[in-house]
Chain A
Amino acid sequence: MTAATDQDHEPGATEPAEGEDGVPEASGAGAEEEAAQTEEGREEDDGVWDDGLIARRMNDTAEEQQPVSAVESRASVPQTPTTLAFDGPLRSRLDALRELVGLSRTRLDSRTLAEAGRVLDEAAARRRLSGQHTVVAIAGATGSGKSQLFNALAGLTISETGVRRPTTSAPIACSWSDGAAPLIDRLGIPPRLRRRPAQHADPDGQLRGLVLVDLPDHDSAAVQHREQVDRVLALVDAVVWVVDPEKYADAVLHERYLRPMAGHAEIMFVVLNQVDRLPGEAAEQVLDDLRRLLDEDGIALGEYGEPGATVLALSALTGDGVGELRESLGQFVAERGAAARRISADVDAAGWELRPVYASSGRTGLSEAAREEFADRLADAVGATAAGEAAERAWLRNANRACGTPWLRLWRWYQDRLEPPTGRLPLRAQADEEATARQRVEQAVRTVAERACAGLPAPWAQAVREAAVRGSQGLPEALDELAARAGLPPGRPPRPGWWPAAVLVQASMTLLQVVGGLWLVAQIVGVMSPNLGVPVLLMVAGIVGGPLVEWGCRMAARGPARRYGMDAERRLREAAAGCGRARVLDPVAAELLRYREVREQYGKVMGVGA
């Protein structure tokens, strides 16, 4: 049904209005005044509504009616110099919140920070005003008897009560001591609607420092009433919720007001009015049920000396329990801690609301492994491993060729002449454009950004990702350039010291073969005396020794070849890693540091980091 479904949507719809309420007070006051005037005009047309809450009680209140005392005039009020002082922890939490908002401005959108900003503004505004006074609002559903309770506390009929629903249409303030004018100004209540209590109502000064505000209802069809309630509730120091046996379980009250304000339990009184309408022990039952509902709303109840909401049953009509309320209100006001507690609860609420954008899940930061992986991927992108291996093999090949037997070299040279030369020196000379694999750089940056923002709340993860992407712009080009520079030094590769000796030995082996051969030829020709043994021995030594030397050299060349290849690989790898660190890792780390800083501030706001 539309009624039920609408009901579900409404809390959401009112939220934005709530957020903006705090600021425009001057304009709001004017509008209200007008509204109040028209309201009064209508009243006169309608006739008299000067009776009690429900008419059968109208006679009882008659003797209480006294002429309303003069409107509090601002000129007569000596401005109290004592402004509100916050205790250390709260001050540091507020400072941390201010810092937090400042640090986050560039990362979070203003809507997310609006509530925190409002809390800060309100805290600052409240702090400038009197700390001697406690502003308490009386809120409740239409017909619950807010105005009657207000009148009972003030001792005279200030706020009009009646059977016409809704009765009160604009907030009315009543101040028990002087100097509260700026506080009431802040609520946007015009001087016309300011009152003083009756002299006899508070003979022992129990309620000194109390500023009581009677609010319109929050649940009637008149939407502007609800707006006023929402606006004033955000500004007062404490709230007395008035419920009655008929309406104490209304969804509107619990879902729209009590549940969101559960953190403000310490500055909350919940008063079950009209208990005189309940027979016998029913009052106790209803009060228990009310306690149960409040508990389900998550409101801590101030029982057994624990801090929390005070729950009372009373009847504003008969006066039952009003004294008790007066007593606890008096005690509450005398403590003068309500304003600070309210602001503290506001900070809590704002902090909880901001939790998803600050709190991280698990450990954040860039691990050493992730950095290593990034360097590896960049090395792949410039082809460090492949370059190293190629250099190693080329060196080994050259070594083999240099130390190989000349016959083998001759044959290879012949082979090379048959095939066109490819893949070697002529191609290496040409400079490649885009020698770096773009896709590998892209992947490396993305992976490292993913690792870095694991566990971060969304806006900060986004910032880290952006930092990484910004850093990666121009990275492939830089790597191209770097790969060209950091490659192996031009010219001949270095040779180990034993190389000339090996070449010499190989040459002497060849020489032995040649000498032995020549000797034999000379014997055959007859130039020399026949002596078969020595020349054959010489030749065999040369023929066996040549490959032996070649093999030995190959074994010996392995180590230097590997060193050479590793060197080539390391140069490229280090250059690429350095480039990546400067361009990507450092900005990412800076962003992470910024987050950690903010996280610390947030911890201070929530009172854990301090």
Chain B
Amino acid sequence: MVTLDVRPQLIDALSALRDRVAAARFPLPLAGAPRARANRDELLAQLDDYLVPRLKDPEAPLLAVVGGSTGAGKSTLVNSLVGRRVSEAGVLRPTTRTPVLVCHPEDHHWFSGMRVLPDLTRVWVPQQEPGDDMLLPGEDPARVLRVETTESLPRGLALLDAPDIDSLVADNRVLAAELICAADIWIMVTTAARYADAVPWHLLRTAKEYDVTLVTVLDRVPHQVVSEVSRQYGALLTKAGLGHVPRFTVPELPESAWGGGLLPATAVAPLRTWLVHQAQDSAARHQVMARTAYGVLDSLKSRMPELASAAAAQYAAATRLTAAVEAAYDSEHARVRSRLQSGAVLAGDALKRWRAFPLDCTAGELLDALSESLTTLLVCAVTAADDRVDESWRREPAAAAPTLRDRDPTAESVEHRIGLAVRRWRRELEECAEDEVRELDKGATLDPEAVAALVATALLGGRRARAAGERLAGRLGAHGALRLRDRGGRLLTEHLDRAVHAERERRLAPLDALDVHPEPQAELIAALSVLQKER
């Protein structure tokens, strides 16, 4: 027999693992991401709602959650087990929107606190007007848990009536899944008309996967066909490998007709007896608890690596995206440099100005034309890089994340930013030229702006501007000209690198903001292995 033997180290390891799971994020919309997010939420809910509280307080009452499709008669079943109407039953679907927990008054303290299901608000309205709570607008009915107490349940057992697992209301589906995960005993209710539905079978398979303590109830079976339907259902269960699961059959009786009243005690007696036995017989109780707890612990072995691999996929995708950006900007950067060297800036307007300089064109005009041309070159490079990034990102599903796709429309344009950088470079170049001219003895006769224009032409014009270099040497002397050109060249490289780098960082910023790291994968696996060791 399995017993629940809990050491504090195990709980510590489990808490650490819980924190790791809580920290895992899957922000990139990869194919597996929605599933990973759902798995993470589900695992987190199961750890918070069930596993940790159960291991901390093994003596807490057993929680049996009644789950099933809409219209399966879950509420009627709970009401009949308790012996009074605690949960609203009715003909309109979905009926139960607020989950109801029923327990013995002395067990009330176990559930009134936030020990289990910590993110559900508790309400203690003993009797509500029928149909009242489900229609109240404004309040979010999905995040509320109603706690009822009744003497007719034995101590050490609590029943929870969950919403439909296939509800039309998506929130209800999520809540139902969360509640079922919090159970020590899963009571799966299906009906004669439903036992072959796909949805409940998903749930049964999940139950099998986690190896939890499972009971199935075949509800609303017309008594003439009880044996046939029950046999069919049993065959299906056996085929699915669930033949050993306790199976109870509840007939459809006129008095149960659509929420009218309670089923007679005899109809649910076998189920009730079984549940009471599990709650009161300490050996059985232990076994039930241990089986579900260990089942969930064992399921971690496959669920954690799944999460870890999803985290790894996220990181790999983020790396690919970053690499695409870097490759695009690097290649454009190289292209800009080679274009600069070949003198592409000194073309068009700038070239015409240079041809006319100094007779028909002032130094200021030449500098204007040159910086405008340089700005255009850089803007083109940045835009081309952005286009390349867009194109390679289009092939990546991860790039569809909203923060990556929608760029900030309020941000100033790339023209503006590059223009600013180029103007700054021009100012610094002019200052350099002034310094150089001032150092010269005959500086008084030289126009620093003309010198700046010559340096700029010599730097940006490539071979085409050889004359500019010669003229500069003529004015400043070979040594001075060389020094000025060196300084200007350094300034140019510096500003160019800085501008391209800044643009690249801008492009990467939203991706960085998503905070995708390689660590979660390793941490998840490490937490799991620590937990394995502590068992």
Closest B residue, CB atoms, query A288: B92
The residues of A that contact B203 with a CB separation of less than 8 Å are: 1-3
Please tell me which stretch of B6-14, B104-112, B161-169, B401-409 contacts chain A, meaning at least 4 of its Cβ atoms lie within 8 angstroms of it. B161-169
B380 touches A443 (CB 8 A): yes
Contacts A383-B352, A386-B353 hold; do A247 and B193 have CB atoms under 8 A apart? yes
Closest A residue, CB atoms, query B42: A1
Count the B residues whose beta carbon is within 8 Å of the partner chain — how many? 82
Contacts A219-B197, A221-B196, A440-B373 hold; do A432 and B464 have CB atoms under 8 A apart? yes
Cβ-neighbour of B165 out of A4, A247, A282, A285 (below 8 A)? A4
Closest B residue, CB atoms, query A286: B91
The residues of B that contact A432 with a CB separation of less than 8 Å are: 351, 464
Question: Which interface residue of B167, B191, B228, B229 has the most chain A CB atoms within 10 A?
Answer: B228
Q: Is A123 in contact with chain B by the CB < 8 A criterion?
A: no
B202 touches A381 (CB 8 A): no
Q: Is B205 in contact with chain A by the CB < 8 A criterion?
A: yes
Q: Is B357 in contact with chain A by the CB < 8 A criterion?
A: yes
Q: Is B192 in contact with chain A by the CB < 8 A criterion?
A: yes
Q: Is B260 in contact with chain A by the CB < 8 A criterion?
A: yes
**Distance between Cα atoms of A126 and B199 in the complex (Å):** 35
Q: Is B348 in contact with chain A by the CB < 8 A criterion?
A: yes
The residues of B that contact A440 with a CB separation of less than 8 Å are: 348-349, 373, 376
Contacts A6-B202, A249-B93, A279-B258 hold; do A436 and B348 have CB atoms under 8 A apart? yes
Cβ-neighbour of B348 out of A8, A55, A282, A383 (below 8 A)? A383
Of residues 118 through 149 on chain A, the ones whose CB sits less than 8 Å from some CB of chain B are 141-144
A278 touches B91 (CB 8 A): yes
Q: Is B321 in contact with chain A by the CB < 8 A criterion?
A: no
Of residues 230 through 281 on chain A, the ones whose CB sits less than 8 Å from some CB of chain B are 244-252, 254-255, 277-279
B359 touches A381 (CB 8 A): no
B42 touches A443 (CB 8 A): no
Q: Closest approach, in angstroms, between the C-beta of B419 and any C-beta of chain A? A: 13
The residues of A that contact B355 with a CB separation of less than 8 Å are: 390, 423, 427-428
The residues of B that contact A436 with a CB separation of less than 8 Å are: 347-348
**Distance between Cα atoms of A603 and B55 in the complex (Å):** 65
A289 touches B360 (CB 8 A): no
Of residues 3 through 28 on chain A, the ones whose CB sits less than 8 Å from some CB of chain B are 3-9
Cβ-neighbour of A435 out of B35, B181, B347 (below 8 A)? B347
The residues of A that contact B93 with a CB separation of less than 8 Å are: 248-249, 289
**Distance between Cα atoms of A165 and B464 in the complex (Å):** 87
Closest A residue, CB atoms, query B174: A4
B92 touches A246 (CB 8 A): no
Cβ-neighbour of B361 out of A286, A390, A428 (below 8 A)? A390
A249 touches B91 (CB 8 A): no
A4 touches B351 (CB 8 A): no
B348 touches A435 (CB 8 A): yes
Closest A residue, CB atoms, query B369: A386
**Distance between Cα atoms of A393 and B353 in the complex (Å):** 12
Q: Is A424 in contact with chain B by the CB < 8 A criterion?
A: yes
Q: 1/0 per position for B223-252, CB-CB distance to A under 8 A? A: 111001100100000000000000000000
Q: Closest approach, in angstroms, between the C-beta of A27 and any C-beta of chain B? A: 26
**Distance between Cα atoms of A370 and B326 in the complex (Å):** 33
Q: 1/0 per position for A383-424, CB-CB distance to B under 8 A? A: 101110110011001000000000000000000000010111
B199 touches A54 (CB 8 A): no
Prevailing SS type, chain B contact patch? helix
**Distance between Cα atoms of A393 and B384 in the complex (Å):** 38
Cβ-neighbour of A246 out of B194, B232, B464 (below 8 A)? B194
Contacts A3-B206, A423-B356 hold; do A286 and B92 have CB atoms under 8 A apart? yes
A434 touches B181 (CB 8 A): no
Contacts A55-B228, A249-B168 hold; do A385 and B349 have CB atoms under 8 A apart? yes
B69 touches A394 (CB 8 A): no
Q: Closest approach, in angstroms, between the C-beta of B42 and any C-beta of chain A? A: 6
Count the A residues whose beta carbon is within 8 Å of the partner chain — how many? 76
**Distance between Cα atoms of A438 and B380 in the complex (Å):** 10
**Distance between Cα atoms of A7 and B203 in the complex (Å):** 11
B191 touches A246 (CB 8 A): yes
Q: Closest approach, in angstroms, between the C-beta of A149 and any C-beta of chain B? A: 15
Q: 1/0 per position for B365-386, CB-CB distance to A under 8 A? A: 0000100010011011001100
A380 touches B379 (CB 8 A): no
Q: Is A112 in contact with chain B by the CB < 8 A criterion?
A: no
Of residues 174 through 231 on chain B, the ones whose CB sits less than 8 Å from some CB of chain A are 174, 176-178, 180-181, 191-203, 205-206, 209, 220, 222-225, 228-229
**Distance between Cα atoms of A427 and B34 in the complex (Å):** 67
A165 touches B196 (CB 8 A): yes
The residues of B that contact A247 with a CB separation of less than 8 Å are: 69-71, 193-194
**Distance between Cα atoms of A389 and B360 in the complex (Å):** 8
Closest A residue, CB atoms, query B383: A446
Cβ-neighbour of B193 out of A7, A165, A251, A443 (below 8 A)? A165
A143 touches B193 (CB 8 A): yes
B225 touches A7 (CB 8 A): no
B173 touches A424 (CB 8 A): no
**Distance between Cα atoms of A428 and B359 in the complex (Å):** 13
Question: Which interface residue of A4, A166, A423, A438 has the most chain B CB atoms within 10 A?
Answer: A4
Q: Is A192 in contact with chain B by the CB < 8 A criterion?
A: no
Contacts A55-B225, A437-B347 hold; do A2 and B196 have CB atoms under 8 A apart? no
**Distance between Cα atoms of A23 and B92 in the complex (Å):** 41
Q: 1/0 per position for B80-116, CB-CB distance to A under 8 A? A: 0000000000011110000000000000000000000
A383 touches B383 (CB 8 A): no
A3 touches B376 (CB 8 A): no
Cβ-neighbour of A278 out of B197, B202, B258, B380 (below 8 A)? B258
Contacts A163-B228, A390-B355, A446-B383 hold; do A244 and B193 have CB atoms under 8 A apart? yes
**Distance between Cα atoms of A401 and B358 in the complex (Å):** 17
Q: Is B145 in contact with chain A by the CB < 8 A criterion?
A: no
Q: Closest approach, in angstroms, between the C-beta of B235 and any C-beta of chain A? A: 9
Q: 1/0 per position for A444-457, CB-CB distance to B under 8 A? A: 00100000000000
Contacts A219-B198, A387-B352 hold; do A443 and B379 have CB atoms under 8 A apart? yes
The residues of B that contact A481 with a CB separation of less than 8 Å are: none
**Distance between Cα atoms of A428 and B384 in the complex (Å):** 34
Q: 1/0 per position for B58-81, CB-CB distance to A under 8 A? A: 000000000001111000000000
Q: Closest approach, in angstroms, between the C-beta of B159 and any C-beta of chain A? A: 19
**Distance between Cα atoms of A217 and B197 in the complex (Å):** 9
A164 touches B194 (CB 8 A): no
Contacts A249-B93, A289-B92 hold; do A390 and B222 have CB atoms under 8 A apart? no
Of residues 15 through 48 on chain B, the ones whose CB sits less than 8 Å from some CB of chain A are 34-35, 38-39, 42
The residues of A that contact B198 with a CB separation of less than 8 Å are: 219-221, 223, 252
B180 touches A254 (CB 8 A): no
The residues of B that contact A2 with a CB separation of less than 8 Å are: 42, 202-203, 205-206, 209
Closest B residue, CB atoms, query A434: B347
Cβ-neighbour of A163 out of B38, B192, B357 (below 8 A)? B192
Given contacts A165-B197, A246-B191, A420-B474, 6 further A-B contacts (CB under 8 A): A3-B203, A7-B199, A7-B202, A51-B225, A250-B69, A440-B373
25 A-B residue pairs with Cβ-Cβ distance under 8 Å, sorted by A, are A3-B165, A4-B177, A163-B229, A165-B193, A165-B195, A219-B197, A246-B193, A247-B69, A247-B193, A248-B93, A252-B166, A278-B257, A279-B258, A286-B91, A383-B350, A390-B356, A393-B359, A423-B356, A423-B357, A435-B348, A437-B348, A437-B351, A439-B339, A440-B349, A443-B379
Q: Which 6 A-B pairs have the closest CB atoms?
A: A1-B177, A437-B348, A143-B193, A249-B93, A165-B196, A386-B352
* Residues of A participating in the B interface, judged by any CB pair closer than 8 Å: 1-9, 51, 54-56, 58, 141-144, 163-166, 217, 219-223, 244-252, 254-255, 277-279, 282, 285-286, 289, 293, 380-383, 385-387, 389-390, 393-394, 397, 420, 422-424, 427-428, 432, 434-440, 442-443, 446
